[in-house]
Copies of this chain bind each other. A is one copy, B any other.
Amino acid sequence: MKNLLAVVLGVVCVSGMAAEPLVKSELKHVQQIREAALKSSLGYDILESLTTEVGPRMAGTEGDARAVKWAVAKFKQLGFDSVKKEPVTFPVWNRGIEKAEVLAPYPQPLMITALGNSVGTGPKGLRGEIVHFETFKQLTEAEAGKVEGKIVFISYKMKKTRDGSDYGNAVAARSRGASEAAKKGAKAIVIRSIGTDSDRLPHTGMMRYAENVTKIPAAALSNPDADLLLNQLKRGKPVEIGLTMTAEQTAKQYTSYNVIGEIKGYEKPDEVVVIGGHLDSWDLGTGAVDDGAGVAITMAAAKIVSEIKRPRRTIRVILWANEEQGLHGAKAYAEAHKDELRQHITGSESDFGAGPIWSFDWRTDGKSAAFLDQMALMLKPLGVEKGSNRAWGGPDLSPLRRDGMSVFSLRQDGTDYFDLHHTANDTLDKVEPENMAQNVAVYAVFAYMTAQTKGDFGFNLK
């Protein structure tokens, strides 16, 4: 009757009571979970399995399909209570071949990669003089005459920070540079990679075309190659480059899956705490830090909780489909589950690599201060500081958050994340097993405590 009423009203009966601290016996379980997770190599082992047995898994590729199979099998092997796939359909982009070179004044090869969603140049390529802007903003302010018929080059270099906060400044060149350049008549755009390394490995990532602009090819240069172009430009002579890319956004639609494993709650199995990472990766590396780590951390955390003490509510681990090319899995899930949104008590996605977690933030109704203090106390031995009421929750939770769901951010140290992000260098060797264990411990504590508290964190939070 209660469930029927819920369906009729389009909501479910959550407690309405603020999340309250756990009692002593429950805290003992939290400690046991924390210690077990720290001692376990499960997170690292899952990541080793994914990167070794699947590797690159760009959305719409064979690797995508293999990853889905791997995820279903891994959840089952770990003994999750339920495992299911939910379909996610999206258009297929192909990378094709990609190469570039300086043609004049000093011929040299250049290391580039096409940006996701970019069109190609045709197999014969194109050539043109480059016109340099230090920032995306400078490009927006430029007169069209300066750009017309040329290849735009934006050289902004992303700064390294623990929280990755310069990504926002840097990424406009990648996401919107082509449209801005095309409006002014450019024939192509090359940008310095959105990355903080100095390796000869360019960073891919998504770009979008504005409506009613000519779609021009867009590529990223490795940081050393961007330096080389700047050094050539310093000589004051026109710098001409050649660019050949067969990238294409195809007409084909592909259906992948969000893969979902659950540890069912003993009292309120329909209420869920959502953790997870995205299952797709870019194609250049094996997707170890982006986002194999998130997948492995959260699968391991839920599993370790289940081994110590099943919580009151369900822990739902969602391995999101096609995050990279536009949150397709997140949008499909939000749409498919919109009638159960109130049952989503809170959540956190792990999608910032495998560095240690150093802080946690929340987005709640402000009535759970005692619970948050207790969580801070439980996370302190793991080196995690208490943050503030400003959590984002991760990319794939953003549609749910927008619709009112509470979220947490378990903040990883991302100092080195943008050295590897979206490059061929995103491989298992970059991940420290002890950092994986710390992440698993934090996620396990978070998942157990939020699934176990009798109250909730509010809804429709602004």
Q: Chain B residues with Cβ under 8 A from A51's Cβ? A: 228, 231
Q: CB < 8 Å: which of B424, B425, B427 contacts A228?
A: B427
A224 at interface (Cβ–Cβ under 8 A)?
Answer: yes
How many angstroms from the CA of A228 to the CA of B53 in the assembled complex? 9
Q: Which residue of B lies closest to A223 (CB)?
A: B429
Q: How far is the CB of A53 from chain B (nearest CB, A)?
A: 5
**A427 contacts which of B54, B224, B286, B428 (Cβ < 8 Å)?**
B224
Q: Complex Cα distance A282/B19, Å?
A: 63
Whether, in the assembled complex, A200 has its beta carbon less than 8 Å from a beta carbon of chain B, the answer is yes
Among the 9-residue stretches A105-113, A140-148, A303-311, the one with 4 or more Cβ atoms under 8 Å from chain B is A105-113
Q: Are B424 and A111 in contact (CB under 8 A)?
A: yes
The answer to whether A56 has its CB under 8 Å from any CB of chain B is yes
In the complex, A227→B107 CA distance in Å?
Answer: 35
How far apart sit A199 and B425, CA to CA, in the bound complex (Å)? 6
Interface contact B425-A200, CB-CB below 8 Å: yes
Chain B residues with CB below 8 A from A429, complex form: 198, 223-224, 227
Q: Which of B201, B224, B425 contacts A428 (CB 8 A)?
A: B224
Asked if A21 is at the interface (CB within 8 A of a chain B CB), the reply is no
Min C-beta distance of A240 to chain B, whole Å: 15
A430 at the interface (CB under 8 A from B): yes
| A285:B52 contact, CB within 8 angstroms | no
User: Across the interface, which residues of B come within 8 angstroms of A106, CB to CB?
Assistant: 52-55
What residues of B have a CB within 8 angstroms of the CB of A109 in the complex?
55-56
Contact digits for A424-456, partner B, Cβ 8 Å, 1 yes 0 no? 110111100000000000000000000000000
8 Å CB interface, A402-425 against B: 423-425
> Which A residues, 53 to 74, have Cβ-Cβ distances below 8 Å to chain B?
53-56, 62
Q: Which residue of B lies closest to A428 (CB)?
A: B227
Question: Which of under 10, 10 to 19, 20 to 34, or 35 or more describes the interface residues of A?
Answer: 20 to 34
The interface bits of chain A over 197-218 (1 if a CB of B lies within 8 angstroms of the residue's CB, else 0) are 0111100000000000000000
Residue A48 at the chain B interface, CB threshold 8 Å? yes
A232 at the interface (CB under 8 A from B): yes
- Is there an interface contact between A52 and B224, defined as CB atoms closer than 8 Å? no
Residues of B within 8 A of A231 (CB): 48, 51-52, 428
Q: CA A52 – CA B399 in complex, angstroms?
A: 47
CA of A428 to CA of B54, assembled, Å: 36
**Nearest CB on B from A129, distance (A):** 17
Mask of A263-290 contacts with B, CB within 8 angstroms, 1/0: 0000000000000000000000110000
Chain B residues within an 8 Å CB radius of A198:
429-430
- What distance in Å separates the Cβ of A215 from its nearest Cβ neighbour in chain B? 28
The A103-133 residues at the B interface (CB cut-off 8 A) are 106-109, 111
In angstroms, Cα B48 to Cα A106, docked, is 13
A279 to B429, CA, bound (A): 34
Q: Chain B residues near A425 (CB, 8 Å)?
A: 199-200, 224
Q: Which residue, A56, A235, A429, has most C-beta atoms of chain B within 10 A? A: A429
Of the candidates A56, A198, A199, A423, the one having the most CB atoms from chain B within 10 angstroms of its own CB is A199
Q: A residues 159-215 with Cβ under 8 Å of B? A: 198-201
Measured CB to CB, the nearest residue on chain B to A427 is B224
State whether A200 touches B108 (Cβ < 8 A): no
> When A108-B286, A223-B429, A286-B108 are in contact, do A232 and B52 touch as well, CB less than 8 Å?
yes
Residues of B within 8 A of A201 (CB): 199-201
Given contacts A53-B106, A231-B428, 5 further A-B contacts (CB under 8 A): A52-B235, A53-B235, A108-B286, A200-B423, A201-B201
List 12 A-B pairs, Cβ < 8 Å.
Answer: A52-B235, A55-B108, A55-B228, A111-B424, A198-B429, A200-B201, A200-B424, A200-B425, A200-B427, A224-B425, A227-B428, A228-B286
**A contact set with B: CB distance below 8 Å:** 48, 51-56, 62, 106-109, 111, 198-201, 223-224, 227-228, 231-232, 235, 285-286, 423-425, 427-430
